[in-house]
Chain A
Amino acid sequence: MPDNDQKDPNRRDFLYVASGAVGAVAVAGAVWPLIDQMNPSAAVLALASIEFDVSSVPEGGSVTIKWRGLPVFVRHRTEAEIEEARAVPMSDLKDPQTDAERVKEGHEQYLIMIANCTHLGCVPVGESGDFDGWFCPCHGSHYDTAGRIRKGPAPANLVVPDYEFVSDTVVRIG
């Protein structure tokens, strides 16, 4: 026994490190619930999907609905706006995406996007800005008629949430 304890590192050192490591794991395990409680609760998550009838939005009009506490734009685009969005060359875009990638086939007139500017989250104003789409007054981001970022500090296009048409006119978001 004494023999063994003279060696460096000896059994005792090993036991210290091993019990310290187990202790650290236990503390981390105990701390995690204290942090995770701050994440969205089951009640918040339960509101995760909604349905909406897009036929109530007239051409050239737009409504803002609420999904998971977030504002969501449902815009019924005019023919001219769709043309304008399609004509933009990819090389002009900061976050390149075609118009088709941002809408559902057969429903190209409806643009559905989370209404928070991808910069710091303000709600941009519709039918304004240098690209006839949206303009965010908070720090000056301009979006085009497909909701793509064209100018200003925002890094990305307005986010298109997961959604699908459950009938000809009803969408389910989330």
Chain B
Amino acid sequence: MAGQSTYKPSNGFTKWLDDRLPIMRLGYDSFVDFPTPRNLNYWWTFGGILTVCLGIQIVTGIILAMHYTPEATMAFNSVEHIRRDVNWGRIIQGTHAVGASMFFIAVYIHMFRGMYYGSYKAPREILWMLGVVIFLLMMATAFFGYVLPWGQMSFWGATVITNFFSAVPVVGDAILQLLRGGFAVDNPTLNRFFSLHYLLPFMIAGVVGLHIWALHVPGNNNPAGIPVKSKQDTVPFHPYYTLKDGFAIVVFLIPFAWFVFFAPDILGHADNYIPANSQVTPTHIVPEWYFLPFYAILRAITFNIGIPFTDITFIDSKLGGVIAMFGAIVVLFFLPWLDRSPVRSGGFRPMFKWFFWLQVISFIALGYLGSKPAEGTYVVFAQIFTAYYFAYFLIILPVLSRIETPKALPASISESVLKVEAKSATTA
């Protein structure tokens, strides 16, 4: 919706500024008089929520870095020092640790919203792909952050995750040493992870800027999935969506605050309160909850891939697991070209709906299985759900695009809104 700018400088200073650096105009056009579809529901508030999450992580993180010591013999104690001695440290550290979880809850909802309403389809492919880049950067940031307290889970998480790279044929071990700066995870690893943990959130902020830029060219998608046709279809961003987003942010902050105040450790693992010990692995290592679905996919590949009935293997189970896990994210980049249905919104796609919700359930099931030991039926179920996860993208969506008959679309956004209103008026 990059239309004509309606910004009018209100006084001499803003006029002077506007002729030199039209930054007020940019802000006004992007967040005040930005024409926004009038039918956005609460699933559309998670973009604003995510921006707040990033802000909270950056502010609390910079404060933590003022008291934290990135050195293997001192890191654990310095985090305890923050929690016990630093003024307000318990709340600030808790906000940062809980904030990571809240950030991921929001991003998962935001992504599934996009998948249901077809927000990845033309003309929003770049917008979607930038989102996947942000997701990858977030995962890397959270992983590096989790290593910093240097507890048992930090240490063994870092060991297992860096070991993924040893699965790369031929150069695997060289890459592993390069990443760790030693033969094992140790002080050099901690130092560089701290450096990267500080850097990446600012890179995320940069990509978020591109993401919003790419959003403001075609404008928002909406629950009806049809484009804006006239001025009747939109309302200005402010005050309509600033307030709707603001309300959602407040609601989101309630459980957030509950965790910080009453259960700051409930989302983590008790083992991380044991200082790192390179000689003993905890009996049950699991990543943070937000990595569990991908962890389950990693462990679901328990078989070698090669020529059947011979000893020839192309991809052993270890490399296969790593490929499947990264593939689970890479496939998202191709989603705009896998789903060719011209209808965006899942609300008008009777068959798609079922497969979509199955995908949501299967993703949650993978998360549950990722937290269980990799034995017996847990593995079998993880394999079934992993197969569904990939089939959804690679088989089901391309086939549905061909065979599904969508429901009739409303003529315009305003018509779809008025219809809903008329219906509720008659039932009331």
Contact = CB atoms under 8 A, between A and B. Distances in A.
Interface of A: 35, 38-41, 44, 64, 66, 68-71, 115-116, 119-123, 125, 137-140, 152-155
Given A68-B184, A140-B373, A35 B178 contact: yes
A71, A121, A155 — most chain B CB neighbours (10 Å): A121
9 contacts: A38-B178, A38-B192, A41-B181, A44-B188, A68-B183, A120-B163, A122-B281, A139-B299, A152-B302
Contact of A69 (B160, B182, B192, B285): B182
Given A121-B160, A140-B373, 17 more contacts: A66-B278, A68-B182, A69-B184, A115-B279, A116-B184, A119-B163, A120-B160, A120-B164, A121-B163, A121-B166, A122-B285, A125-B283, A137-B284, A137-B285, A137-B373, A155-B316, A155-B317
Nearest to A71: B279
Contacts of A69: 182-186, 278
Given A38-B178, A40-B183, A69-B186, A153 B160 contact: no
Interface string B159-190: 11011101000000000011101111110100
B160 A123 contact: no
Interface string B317-338: 1100100000000000000000
Cβ-closest 8 pairs across A and B? A69-B184, A68-B183, A122-B281, A120-B163, A120-B160, A121-B163, A123-B281, A121-B159
A152 B316 CA distance: 12
Contacts of B374: 139-140, 153
A42 B179 CA distance: 16
Contact of A44 (B179, B181, B192, B302): B181
B104 interface: no
B19 interface: no
B178 A122 contact: no
A137 to B, nearest CB: 5
A44 B182 contact: yes
B280 interface: yes
A71 B192 CA distance: 22
A45 to B, nearest CB: 9
Interface string B139-157: 0000000000000000010
B421 interface: no
Contact of A155 (B192, B284, B285, B318): B318
A160 B181 CA distance: 22
Contacts of B316: 155
A41, A119, A137, A138 — most chain B CB neighbours (10 Å): A138
A39 B281 contact: no
A159 to B, nearest CB: 11
Contact of A66 (B162, B179, B192, B279): B279
A151 to B, nearest CB: 10
Contact of A123 (B162, B185, B279, B284): B279
Interface string B9-51: 0000000000000000000000000000000000000000000
B318 A154 contact: yes
A123 B156 CA distance: 10
Contacts of B188: 40-41, 44
B177 A39 contact: yes
A64 B183 CA distance: 16
A47 B176 CA distance: 18
Interface in B243-302: 278-281, 283-285, 299, 302
A153 B281 contact: no
A66 to B, nearest CB: 7
A121 B185 CA distance: 10
